[in-house]
Amino acid sequence: MTATSDENNENQADGFFRRLAERQPDDGPIHSRAARWIRRRFAVGFLVVFPLVITLFFARFIFGLLDRWFLPISERLFGVEIPGIGFILFIIALFALGTLATNILGGRMLDFFEKKVAGIPLLSPIYQGARQITEAIQIRGTTDFRKVVLLDFPRQGMRSVGFVTREFSSPTVFSDQPSALVFVPTTPNPTTGFLVALPQSELEALDITVEQGVKLLISGGLLTPAQLLHGRPRPTSADDELAD
């Protein structure tokens, strides 16, 4: 991640809490303003600490769970209980599974396992849902997307967010003018969607990174970058210029 995207994320988070604290106007008697000021700070403090507590809770839970799972192995190998050995063995197991899955034999074994799981009624939707989440996370780091754009899709006047995958500066079968291929993902799972070919003049580039665009889609619009919250200046038409 670049320094620019880090700064954008920090500014977006900082702006969210600041806007939340200043949502209500500070008017009325001084004791009412003071009470509102205190309530808003408590609310913002709760929103700040809530994800931290959840993260620490799950981190501790997973750490303890791994230690309990691998406790018999550590006692058998070393004769004593070693705190943290479960996490270390888990990291080694992840590396081993990644190495196995990236070779031909391991890939075939993984495909066989997925086909078997897909045939189990109760486990299949759980596994497939988890797979879609991992694919959605993986798409964040893709380098195939060039930029985020707005386009009229699926009809004129309805704006959709898309990702430019390829641009053509000369005439092609898609258009006799400079055109582009745009992937319009579905939400909240951006691994499926539509491939649209249209002239570049019909695209409006958004001032956000590809990662911000994917976050916007996965969240269903909840994580809207701050750059998109400002109105655009109305373009000056020929009639306006004549009137002036």
The DSSP annotation for 146-202 comes to -EEEEEE-SSTT-EEEEEEEEEESS--SS-SSSEEEEEEE-SS-TTSEEEEEEEGGG
**Rounded to whole angstroms, how far apart are CA atoms 182 and 148?**
9
Angle at 123 between CA 119 and CA 124, to 5 degrees: 50
pTM of the model: 0.46
Cα-Cα-Cα-Cα dihedral sign, residues 78, 82, 88, 94: positive
Predicted local distance difference test score (pLDDT) of residue 57: 82
Q: What is the dihedral of CA 116, 118, 120, 125, to 10 degrees?
A: 150
Low-confidence ranges of the chain (pLDDT < 70): 1-28, 31, 74-75, 77, 79-81, 132-144, 231-244
Predicted local distance difference test score (pLDDT) of residue 105: 83
| pLDDT tens-digit map of 45-55 | 777 777 778 87
Count the alpha carbons within 13 Å of 213 in the hemisphere toward its beta carbon: 25
Count the alpha carbons within 13 Å of 127 in the hemisphere toward its beta carbon: 12
**Rounded to whole angstroms, how far apart are CA atoms 82 and 74?**
7
Predicted local distance difference test score (pLDDT) of residue 136: 57
Among 185, 187, 203, 183, residue whose Cα is nearest residue 195? 183
Cα-Cα-Cα-Cα dihedral sign, residues 162, 163, 165, 170: positive
Predicted local distance difference test score (pLDDT) of residue 5: 46
